[in-house]
């Protein structure tokens, strides 16, 4: 992201809200220039612009951050997850941990059951690809034969945690099996030294 737009986000993160005039003064830029960057950020769904009337005259446009903008700031969710898993491992058995991730996978699949109902396996796999994208996975699907598919994941949003807690991989495998209602087998995994994770999906067991 361009430095000026990141600066705007930073100011709004600190102040809570501001208008064009205030931002222009703090940035040392013209109002026209700031307005351009505000339009870009608003288009990207990062800003909320709310007209606020103060007495007579034209309303003042008050600018604030939308929830999506929080992703533009440093996050440490992976470290928190790492610590939580360390604590769980000290208190639960290995079987309990595996059951926990399988249950999470089942719950995610249940949330999207309506969007998968009544679809063919190929349609379900296409919907699953969209779901995985929302979760942060970068995936590609290849059809092999009439009812077989190979799903390749190039990016795992859990990579930092998975390196230390490979059992997290059970989550997406369980999600796929439950959501598709078809056998899914992992063929490659980055935790085993592979460059990508691949899954074989078939209509028949």
Give tens-digit pLDDT for 145-190: 777 899 998 888 787 788 888 888 888 888 888 889 889 999 998 8
pLDDT exceeds 70 at position 5: yes
Q: Which residues pair with 63 in a beta bridge?
A: 18, 49
Residue predicted with more confidence, 162 or 4: 4
For residue 26, the model assigns a pLDDT of 92
pLDDT exceeds 70 at position 55: no
pLDDT exceeds 90 at position 203: no
For residue 53, the model assigns a pLDDT of 75
User: Sign of torsion, CA 191 78 106 149?
Assistant: negative
Q: Are 21 and 31 in contact (CB under 8 A)?
A: yes
Euclidean distance between CA atoms 50 and 135, whole angstroms: 30
pLDDT exceeds 60 at position 205: no
For residue 62, the model assigns a pLDDT of 92
For residue 109, the model assigns a pLDDT of 87
Euclidean distance between CA atoms 116 and 124, whole angstroms: 6
Q: Are 194 and 175 in contact (CB under 8 A)?
A: no
Q: Locate the domains of the chain by residue range.
A: 3-72, 77-202
Q: To 10 degrees, the CA torsion angle through 69, 72, 74, 76?
A: 70
pTM of the model: 0.61
Domain 3-72: assigned CATH number:
1.10.10.10
For residue 38, the model assigns a pLDDT of 93
Domain topology for 77-202: Muramoyl-pentapeptide Carboxypeptidase; domain 2 (3.30.1380)
For residue range 68-124, what is the model confidence (pLDDT) as tens digits? 887 777 666 778 888 888 898 899 888 888 888 888 888 988 888 888 888 888 899
For residue range 119-149, what is the model confidence (pLDDT) as tens digits? 888 899 888 888 888 877 888 889 887 778 9
Query: What share of the chain has pLDDT > 90, as a percent?
Result: 24
For residue 192, the model assigns a pLDDT of 85
């Amino acid at each position: 992201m361009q430095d000026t737009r990141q600066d705007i986000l930073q100011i709004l993160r600190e102040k809570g809200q501001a208008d064009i005039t205030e931002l222009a003064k703090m940035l040392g830029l013209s109002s026209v220039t700031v307005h351009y960057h505000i339009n870009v950020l608003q288009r990207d769904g990062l800003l909320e612009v709310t007209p606020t009337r103060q007495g007579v005259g034209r309303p003042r446009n008050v600018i604030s951050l939308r929830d999506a903008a929080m992703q533009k700031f440093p996050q440490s969710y992976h470290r928190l997850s790492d610590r939580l898993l360390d604590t769980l491992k000290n208190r639960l058995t290995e079987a309990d941990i595996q059951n926990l991730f399988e249950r999470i996978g089942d719950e995610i699949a249940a949330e999207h059951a309506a969007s998968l109902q009544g679809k063919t396996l190929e349609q379900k796999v296409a919907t699953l690809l969209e779901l995985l994208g929302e979760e942060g996975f970068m995936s590609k699907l290849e059809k092999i034969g009439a009812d077989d598919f190979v799903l390749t994941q190039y990016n795992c949003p859990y990579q930092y945690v998975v390196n230390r807690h490979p059992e997290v991989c059970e989550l997406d495998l369980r999600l796929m099996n439950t959501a598709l209602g078809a056998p899914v087998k992992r063929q490659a995994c980055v935790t085993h030294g592979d460059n990508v994770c691949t899954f074989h999906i078939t209509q028949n067991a």
